[in-house]
Structure 1
Amino acid sequence: MNSEEETFQSKNFVSKSLLYRFSQFVGFLLGARFFVAALLTFALYVSTFFLFNQDESFRNFVFDFKVHGIIFCTVLTILAGGIINQFYDLEKDHVVKPFRTRVQSFIKQKYFLYAYLGLSVISLGVAWMISRNVFVFFLVYQFFMWLYSHKLSRMLIINNLTFVSLTLYPFFGMMVYYETFSKKVFLMAVFLFLILLCIDIVKDTLTKSVDKTFGYTTIPNYFKSKTARTILISLLVITMAVCMKIITKTGVAGFMAYYFAGALFVMIICIYLLLNASRRSNFFTLNILRFWVFVGIVAMLLNGIEHKL
């Protein structure tokens, strides 16, 4: 073998090794729901500064290390929750999310469990250093994250309610921390709860047969299709009523007023799509609602900036 062939084989080995490591890295990010955690972190910072903590200056907020510590613990807990969830949903994900499962296969499951334990311990350690109350808050959060993945995700209605509650749990913690109790915040929380609940149920309609096969009892695979569709449309109508209440009774203004006004039209579009009763329309509904949640975060950010200025 000449030197050119050896050099070529060496470069080929290095490129394969780098590709394998990159695949492991991407697999870990997907397994830990990193991108979901990043979005929730962004939403948590925006809501904390512009909704729950409107009186504090930006400088004081930046140097409020206790708040940053709580958000840091939240991020680690969400990442840990994503890992344990994919561990229990592995068989289902092989069918529903084959590409992601294929990428995750570059990492052995035991390493995911090590990462889960490590993230959980670090989160609780930081929480303990902040305060005992914060430690208990995250201990409860992590317990229900595990319980949801292990048991509650297979139980009718409880699975949807628990998933949405766990998503909003960190925001509830910040609301309690800043003692921000008002009619406006309450109605916004109800609006977000209903939107996330609709998203979770629509998502279940897309995995209806797979969920039934693997023992997940969801609204779409337990009730008839017409009943499940009626439940979804009813929730969207209730969401519209909450929007009207926010617009007329809370004095919301600026970008947030436009957001909730726009939400009325978005709900009408989603109801129209659901009436079509096709997989494609359900897919569009799911992504429209997800996009509207993101629009809400941006609207809150712009509204907060306008208010601060």
Structure 2
Amino acid sequence: MQKSLFYRFSQFVGFLLGARFFVAALLTFALYVSTFFLFNQEESFRKFVFDFRVHGIIFCTVLSILAGGIINQFYDFEKDHIVKPFRTRVQSFIKQKYFLYAYLALTVISLGVASFISYRVLIFFVVYQFFMWFYSHKMSRILILNNLTFVSLTLYPFFGMMVYYQTFSRKIFLMAIFLFLILLCIDIVKDTLTKSVDKSFGYTTIPNYFKSKNTKIILISLLMLTMAVSMKLIIKTGISGFMSYYFIGGLFMMIICIYLLLNSSRRAKFFTLNILRFWVFIGIIAMLLNGIEGKL
């Protein structure tokens, strides 16, 4: 009985890891925070809570992200055996065919709910899910396109909410560029840590295509560009409150990352990756606090 419970629990954890549940949870939190405090400039909190179209869109987004995580691990299964041995071991408690069944179920439910909201929302998610599959199937192996597509797919739901609320401004445009650049740096740094494995499995990435020196130049250039965007936001958009502190602090974080990248050790790259990931999370918290302060 004890073994059976442990096995079922392992299956459950394996499914959560395979579907990238924790990534989906973080993106859901980020979507709600950005939707209410950034894109939604007019509605009251009460009206937002009862806007079932918005909740429906976010629900479809979550299901699509879970489905995308499943199909991605299906294509990367052999590579993950080397890169992520613990996660692969836990996922092995579930047969791959059940992951595929879950992928189909999540996709159908997501598109079904989207069709009830509107045909435009349905088209939005058909495009989203197609490119998530196409990224895993083909584009993840193509130089530069793999990084650009991954980051674009991460930001795609936020773009959808921005269009839904028709919130277009210089500040939001610059914030989107800032986030795009940070996520791009994260993806490239992550590729430097799996350079040899990616090459063995036919993934052409910036680190295994260019020399280490050129990869370092690309990353440092992107970080300096991120700093320039951050300074533009601080000086030109009148951003205030917690978000201003976030972008000012971001300048120092980028300098630390540049310093770490000048050291070519694996440990320095690992620290850089986690600093950038942590700073994205801090950005969500800063947006939340800034929004609460603005609503009071």
Question: TM-score if structure 2 supplies the norm length?
Answer: 1.00
| Aligned amino acid, residue 147 of structure 1 | F
Residues 1:76 and 2:63 are matched in the alignment: yes
Query: Which residue of 256, 262, 273 corresponds with 1:269?
Result: 256
The amino acid that maps onto 1:56 is: E
Q: Which residue of 2 aligns with 1:42?
A: 29
* Separation of aligned partners in 1, 2:253 and 2:281: 13
Alignment partners' CA distance in 2, 1:252 and 1:298: 16
One-letter amino acid of the structure 2 residue matched with residue 22 of structure 1: F
Structure 1 gap segments, 5+ residues each: 1-13
**1:116 equivalenced with 2:103 (yes/no):** yes
Aligned mates of 1:37, 1:162 — CA distance in 2: 18
Which residue does 1:193 correspond to in 2? 180
> How far, CA to CA, are the matches of 1:52 and 1:250 in structure 2?
16
Counterpart of 2:124 (choices 120, 130, 137) is: 137
Give 1:55 shift. Answer: 1.8
**C-alpha offsets along residues 250-298 of structure 1, whole Å, 9 cap, x if unaligned?**
1100000000000000000000000001100000000000000000000
Select the residue among 265, 279, 285 that pairs with 2:266.
279
Q: CA deviation at 1:96?
A: 0.2
Amino acid at match of 2:146: N
User: Which residue of 2 is the match for residue 178 of structure 1?
Assistant: 165
Q: Give me the whole-angstrom Cα distance separating, in 1, the residues matched to 2:250 and 2:265.
A: 23
2:51 equivalent to 1:64? yes
Tell me the number of residue pairs that the alignment of Structure 1 and Structure 2 aligns: 296
CA distance in 2, matches of 1:146, 1:243: 33
| 1:29 and 2:16 aligned | yes
SS of corresponding position for 1:87:
helix
Q: Shift in Å at residue 123 of structure 1?
A: 0.2
Distance 2:78 2:216 in 1: 27
The corresponding residue for 1:6 is none
Residue 159 (str. 1) matches residue 146 (str. 2): yes
Unaligned runs of 5+ in 2: none
Alpha-carbon distance in structure 2 between the residues aligned to 1:125 and 1:201: 35
Tell me the amino acid that sits aligned with residue 91 of structure 2. Answer: Q
Whole-angstrom distance in 1 between the partners of 2:156 and 2:86: 30
Distance in structure 2 (CA, Å) of the matches to 1:45 and 1:70: 11
SS in 2 for 1:290: helix
* 1:230-260 CA-partner distances (Å, limit 9, x unpaired): 0000000000000000000011000000000
Q: How far apart are 1:54 and its partner, in Å?
A: 2.3
CA distance in 1, matches of 2:193, 2:277: 15
Distance 1:67 1:178 in 2: 10
State the AA in 1 paired with 2:119: R
Q: What percentage of residue pairs aligned between the two structures are identical?
A: 84
What is the RMSD computed on CA atoms of the aligned residues?
Answer: 0.3
